[in-house]
Amino acid sequence: MQYYLDLSRIEQSYFKEKIERYCKKLFDSNRLKVIGITLFGSVARMKARNDDEHLSDVDLIVVLEGINEDYFKRIGEKVEIEGLEGAGIEAIWLTQNELLTQARRKVPLLLDAFKDGIPIYDPTNLLVNTRRELMKDLKRKGVREGEDLWIWPVKRLGEEIEF
């Protein structure tokens, strides 16, 4: 199968090769159709370490068709497909509907992933468009980025926050 991963912004060859091997497993799977992949975390922020003291993991959001809706069955399927290539990879597998639902609900992990994330496979622009709409909605609602959190505007004590 032909696919193109955009790994041009990843400087360290160790992480680039690790991502390539992992993604190849996904694309070679007969059960899954990869819709999009976003890299986030320390590798995306160019702060990953691969030295004698610390080895960073690789954080990915992988949007797939064909994954099991049942969480526990999905975990088993994930372990089976990833095999040894999954070591050191923290991949969150989502369906397209789950991704869009999490964006609509403003799930903090997704907000953080989209803030610094790099879409490395996005042939239909699902990830780029979802991120753009999410960030536009946050701005419209007056949500600001704190150092380690998202700050939602509240005018009065007890006022409901609009997600």
In a domain? residue 156: no
**Residue 43 in contact with residue 37, Cβ under 8 Å?**
no
Q: Domain range spanning residue 18? A: 13-151
From edge to edge, which strands make up the β-sheet containing 89-94? 89-94, 58-65, 33-40, 118-121
> Whose structure tokens read 């955009």?
6
Domain count, the chain: 1
Tokens at 35, concatenated: 């819709």
In a domain? residue 2: no
CATH number at residue 90: 3.30.460.10
In a domain? residue 162: no
CA dihedral 126, 132, 135, 141 (to 10 degrees): -110
**The pLDDT of residue 39:** 98
**Residues 106-145 pLDDT 10s:** 999 999 999 989 999 999 999 999 999 999 999 999 999 8
In a domain? residue 161: no
pTM of this prediction exceeds 0.75: yes
